[in-house]
Amino acid sequence: MKVKINSSSLEDAEENLLRLKNSRDVKCPNWNVSEICQHCAQSINYSMTGYPQLKPALIRATVGRAAIHKFLRQGYMKHDLTAPVPGGSKLDASRNSEESVDELLSTIEKFRSYSGQLLPHLLFGKLSKDEYDSYFAMHIADHLNELIF
């Protein structure tokens, strides 16, 4: 059964991830659950440590800003669900999915308690903590929406 997942905050995303962790026989047309969680955790971590590769400043200031403002305004996003974070660590398809869900939940908590300077997103550029929170929630929801329970 295909389930529509909406998420406007990381709190919503956590609830969805806990439901996913307790689900069996989840099917994914692209990445498996573990890869999805690893990818989303990478993206959140990179907001605190720096993305390995940034798009050119002109792209971040124009196309990137327009895209993030559109996503934030409409409350959801659609993106390439198979695109890795450029320069990011390779995803491990053999990792245990429950461990990966737990890692993503831990990364969300780390982000929520983080008080340092957030670094520019690879495409959207500088984002506030609230903007990152909304973006990460939408990013996770977009990936979870490809799952079939």
Residue range 78-106, pLDDT digits in tens: 999 999 999 999 999 999 999 999 999 99
Residue range 132-141, pLDDT digits in tens: 999 999 999 9
Extents of the domains making up the chain: 1-81+128-149
Least confident of 9-23, 70-84, 98-112: 9-23
What is the separation, in whole angstroms, between the first and last Cα of the chain?
5
Banded model confidence at residue 2, pLDDT cuts 50, 70, 90:
low
